[in-house]
């Protein structure tokens, strides 16, 4: 990790903006889960999918990532990767069942 990335400073307003997006998503998903706890799983899945689509959750998460990443030094290391790329390179992303 670059020494410049050991401490990342995000302006308060931007940090609060990111936190508001995360809070909205987490609380909404918890409310959906609580509401559908005793209801058919198909209804829960539909509500969750509709929430993700209707409230543009992927765009909101991309916004949070952008807010964080714009304050990270993206200088490439000897491995030709930046710190963020290196840190996430081994994540197990979703893929269709085989």
Q: What is the mean pLDDT of the chain?
A: 96
Q: Which two tokens stand for residue 13?
A: 């307003």
pLDDT at 68: 96
Residue 19, pLDDT > 90, answer: yes
6 DSSP 8-state letter: S
For the stretch 25-62, pLDDT in tens is 999 999 999 999 999 999 999 999 999 999 999 999 99
For the stretch 55-85, pLDDT in tens is 999 999 999 999 999 999 999 999 999 999 9
* Cα dihedral across residues 74, 76, 77, 82: positive or negative: positive
Q: Which two tokens stand for residue 41?
A: 């799983």
Which residue is it, tokens 């959750």?
Answer: 57
pLDDT at 98: 84
pLDDT at 54: 99
């Amino acid at each position: 990790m670059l020494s410049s990335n050991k401490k990342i400073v995000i302006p308060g307003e931007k940090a609060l903006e990111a936190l508001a997006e995360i809070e909205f998503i987490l609380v909404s998903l918890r409310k959906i889960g609580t509401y559908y706890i005793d209801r058919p799983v198909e209804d829960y899945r539909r509500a969750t999918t509709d929430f993700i689509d209707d409230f543009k959750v992927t765009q909101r998460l991309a916004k949070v990532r952008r807010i964080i990443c714009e304050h990270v030094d993206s200088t490439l290391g000897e491995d030709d990767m930046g710190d963020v790329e290196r840190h996430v390179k081994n994540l197990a992303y979703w893929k269709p069942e085989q």
